[in-house]
Amino acid sequence: MTTGATALVGRIRRAHGIKGELVVALHTDAPDAIFAPGARVFVGTPEGDLMPDPASGVVRALIVRTARDFQDGLLVMFEGFTDRTEAERWRGRTLLVPMDELEPPGEGELWAHELPGMRVVDPQGGAVGEVSGWYDLPQGLVIEIATPRGPRDVPFNDAFVMAFDRDARLITLDAPAGLLE
């Protein structure tokens, strides 16, 4: 494995069936490339950090055998997973790939891991707070904003986010009255 930073590309939700398939929630816009047969991903903790094997200290790579669309994600079979018991051991783990193997974000895009630390302002430029974290729900990405009144969760979508500047690390948020109070 490369020693550089990694990006979260999926989260194992649960086992599916009896042959070792896993339901994977996607955190990538390129699932066909990342989860193509023969591709490899690395195992991460539920928090998204690389997870070395406790016995060997080596980070485990999983090789994709098959992947197919399922609900809002994929059903993935990895080499070495032959039954539900083995698959169940991986529930809640994240799947990571080295950042240097990914296409950089295009114009008007960013990686979710870049969100923490971004300043948040209202449409008039007034300070709202700072992104302290993010999480993914079936409805979409949600950012947690540290505000003077405490943490607030806001969907990261076109209804609330007017603009963001990746280089300036700035998000302009148009939140309805009461959402940030």
Q: What is the 3-state secondary structure (H, E, C) of 5-45?
A: CEEEEEEEEEEECCCCEEEEEECCCCHHHHCCCCCEEEEEC
Domains 6-101 and 112-173 share a fold: no
Q: Where do the domains of the chain lie?
A: 6-101, 112-173
pLDDT band at 179 (very low <50, low <70, confident <90, very high): confident
Dihedral sign for Cα atoms in the order 51, 49, 154, 161? negative
Q: Name which CATH class applies to 6-101.
A: mainly beta
Phi, psi (5° rounding) for residue 60? Answer: -85, 130
pLDDT band at 4 (very low <50, low <70, confident <90, very high): low
The pLDDT tens digits for 36-95 are 999 999 999 888 888 888 888 888 899 999 999 998 889 999 998 888 988 888 889 999
The pLDDT tens digits for 103-143 are 877 788 887 778 899 999 999 999 999 999 888 777 778 99
pTM value > 0.75: no
Q: Name which CATH class applies to 112-173.
A: mainly beta
